[in-house]
Amino acid sequence: MTIVDTTTELAPNEAELLARVPDGLFIGGRWEAGTRDPIEVQDPATGRVIKRIANATPEDGIRALDAAAAAADAWAATAPRVRAEILRRAFDLLQERRADFALLMTLEMGKPLAEANGEVTYGGEFLRWFSEEAVRISGRFGQNPEGTGTMVVSQRPVGPCYLITPWNFPLAMATRKIAPALAAGCTVVVKPAELTPLTTLFFAQLLADAGVPDGVVNIIPTSTARTVSEPIIADPRLRKLSFTGSTPVGRTLLAQAGQNVLRTSMELGGNAPFVVFDDADLDKAVEGAMLAKFRNIGQACTAANRFIVHESVAEEFARRVTEKVQAFRVGRGTDDGVTIGPLIDDRAVASMAKLVEDAVSRGARVLTGGNAPEGDGFFFEPTVIVDVQPGSELLREEIFGPILAITTFSTEDEAVAAANSTEYGLVGYVFTQDLARGQRMIDRVDTGMMGLNTGLVSNAAAPFGGVKQSGLGREGGLEGIHEYLSTKYTLIPA
């Protein structure tokens, strides 16, 4: 693999874009300067601070909720067609500003520009999809069984929502929550991850330009997520909490939400099995593996975590993926031809090194990579590691980085048992040309999503979400808007 030198200076177009990104809190339709030390946003490819932005206090958080609560009735009463057209305008504006959003995500999060562009497409689709769903919210109606009245079932917006997003997909994780909430008629307070708040602030500007009324969307980046979030979650005006992030934080938030019996959506961690049978099309399996493992530098909850490969094809599979990995170019995501960017921070790099060390100490072999290169930025070499032994941390933990770990199996039952031996259940990938076997695996692997002969399943039109400790609720698809609606039944006697 080639490690590309990273330049530490911002290019003129990068500096110009960063200067156009708002640096305040967005509350009630106004940009506000913060009152405490700013958040310093870093470029993970260089470790350099690229912008300082306002840092919300707990009081700012409550004022953001005040604004969302004040705007709630008027937004719920706004015609669905009007809400839909605002979302559609946001989709169109995002296409116009595509290059800016892609570059901004690469600068604050590190993913290669081509992938950042892909995220603009994916993130934008939630705006388009939910603009279409806004006008299709409906209920049902019928005579009661006794014949004494009419039962009417309708859907109402749940009310003000608190949305907490992670750093790995700065745009898409925001649009996947904001778009259905707005389509349903809910107002929101958004807390982006402190590592990547710039995309959300830039997006707030876009929403205002698209015609979102003041107070409907409020954005409060903060360096103290817990102290700002707790009072918002405890406030009786809040009706819904939607979170994407790690399972431990999700557990804490669920406990807090329990106090006020809040509606919750939780998109938590994953530990996806990637099962390759001896009858798989290996070309497809290798191609799928590259996508499922190395997209977003492995930093996705849908990333393939455990490659469970039939013993008769494991060596060939490992050889082919190693060849592909050795052809990667590692570097700053803005540089031509770079396929693997940096990890998000130095903790992530240390965690990769620890996972490799643990696996090797238990008998695994590194075929390529395995180290953090010298120099600036938070890089870790894309790695292929085989003979990973049961009990290794690589198999138990969500890796969240560019390490492809291979284990083997001999029977279908063994593959199923290995796939399910985790407390997570977000997504599974299966490669086989035998349709009946594929169907059996879909039935037996305990996850919320499956990819059959593909390494990428995400789609705005599909319900994204997990079972077991991967979370509660679904985002996207027909299901996504119902996370922001509550069912109301009315009896009208005859």
Question: Which residues are known to be catalytic?
Answer: 267, 301
Q: Using the rule CB under 6 A, which residue among 36, 52, 136, 226 binds ligand ADP?
A: 226
Q: Which stretch binds ligand ADP (CB under 6 A): 2-10, 190-198, 418-426, 479-487?
A: 190-198
Instruction: Report which residue's Cβ sits closest to ligand ADP.
Output: 245
Of 41, 68, 67, 69, which is closest to residue 54 (Cα–Cα)? 41
Which parts of 258-396 are beta strand (E)? 263-267, 272-276, 304-310, 329-330, 365-368, 383-386
Amino acid at 233: I
Q: How far is the CB of 482 from ligand ADP (least distance, A)?
A: 23
Q: How far is the CB of 83 from ligand ADP (least distance, A)?
A: 26
Whether the CB-CB separation of 333 and 117 falls below 8 Å is answered with: no
Which structure tokens are listed for 28?
Answer: 């009630």
> What is the C-alpha to C-alpha distance for residues 228 and 230, in angstroms, rounded to an integer?
6
Q: Which stretch binds ligand ADP (CB under 6 A): 26-34, 191-199, 364-372, 481-489?
A: 191-199
Q: Using the rule CB under 6 A, which residue among 78, 205, 252, 420 binds ligand ADP?
A: 252
User: Looking at beta carbons only, is 159 or 471 nearer to ligand ADP?
Assistant: 471
> What is the C-alpha to C-alpha distance for residues 188 and 219, in angstroms, rounded to an integer?
9
Whether the CB-CB separation of 360 and 369 falls below 8 Å is answered with: no
3-state secondary structure of 492: strand
Q: Which stretch binds ligand ADP (CB under 6 A): 32-40, 150-158, 189-197, 334-342?
A: 189-197
- Contact map string, positions 263 to 302, toward ligand ADP, x by CB under 6 A: ----------------------------------------
Amino acid at 259: Q
Q: Using the rule CB under 6 A, which residue among 1, 76, 135, 225 binds ligand ADP?
A: 225
User: Looking at beta carbons only, is 284 or 396 nearer to ligand ADP?
Assistant: 396
> What is the C-alpha to C-alpha distance for residues 415 and 346, in angstroms, rounded to an integer?
35
Residue indicated by tokens 């979170």: 243
User: Looking at beta carbons only, is 37 or 283 nearer to ligand ADP?
Assistant: 37
Q: Using the rule CB under 6 A, which residue among 249, 292, 343, 418 binds ligand ADP?
A: 249
Q: Is the backbone of residue 144 left (phi > 0), alpha (psi -120 to 50) or beta?
A: beta
Q: Which stretch binds ligand ADP (CB under 6 A): 75-83, 224-232, 450-458, 460-468?
A: 224-232
> What is the C-alpha to C-alpha distance for residues 409 and 344, in angstroms, rounded to an integer?
33
Torsions phi, psi for 176 (to 5 deg): -65, -20
Q: How far is the CB of 241 from ligand ADP (least distance, A)?
A: 9
Q: What is the dihedral of CA 115, 118, 119, 124, to 10 degrees?
A: 170
Distances (CA, A) of 48 to 7, 376, 394: 11, 9, 30
3-state secondary structure of 344: coil
Whether the CB-CB separation of 216 and 190 falls below 8 Å is answered with: no
User: Looking at beta carbons only, is 299 or 432 nearer to ligand ADP?
Assistant: 299
Q: What is the dihedral of CA 309, 310, 312, 317, to 10 degrees?
A: -20
194 near ligand ADP, rule: CB under 6 A: yes
User: Looking at beta carbons only, is 177 or 320 nearer to ligand ADP?
Assistant: 177
188 near ligand ADP, rule: CB under 6 A: no
Q: How far is the CB of 353 from ligand ADP (least distance, A)?
A: 17
User: Looking at beta carbons only, is 288 or 341 nearer to ligand ADP?
Assistant: 341
Scanning 245-330, the segments in alpha helix (DSSP H) are: 247-259, 282-294, 314-326
User: Looking at beta carbons only, is 157 or 245 nearer to ligand ADP?
Assistant: 245
Q: What does the angle CA 114 – CA 119 – CA 124 come to, to the nearest 5 degrees? A: 135
Q: Using the rule CB under 6 A, which residue among 246, 260, 453, 486 binds ligand ADP?
A: 246
Whether the CB-CB separation of 18 and 51 falls below 8 Å is answered with: yes
Q: How far is the CB of 253 from ligand ADP (least distance, A)?
A: 6
- Contact map string, positions 157 to 186, toward ligand ADP, x by CB under 6 A: -------xxxx-------------------
> Strands 240-244 and 263-267: what pairing?
parallel
193 near ligand ADP, rule: CB under 6 A: yes
User: Looking at beta carbons only, is 302 or 432 nearer to ligand ADP?
Assistant: 302
Q: Using the rule CB under 6 A, which residue among 229, 264, 271, 392 binds ligand ADP?
A: 229
Q: How far is the CB of 225 from ligand ADP (least distance, A)?
A: 3
User: Looking at beta carbons only, is 75 or 400 nearer to ligand ADP?
Assistant: 400
Whether the CB-CB separation of 331 and 358 falls below 8 Å is answered with: no
Of 269, 224, 264, which is closest to residue 249 (Cα–Cα)? 269
Q: How far is the CB of 252 from ligand ADP (least distance, A)?
A: 5
245 near ligand ADP, rule: CB under 6 A: yes
224 near ligand ADP, rule: CB under 6 A: no
Binding site for ligand ADP (CB under 6 A): 164-167, 191, 193-194, 225-226, 229, 245-246, 249, 252-253
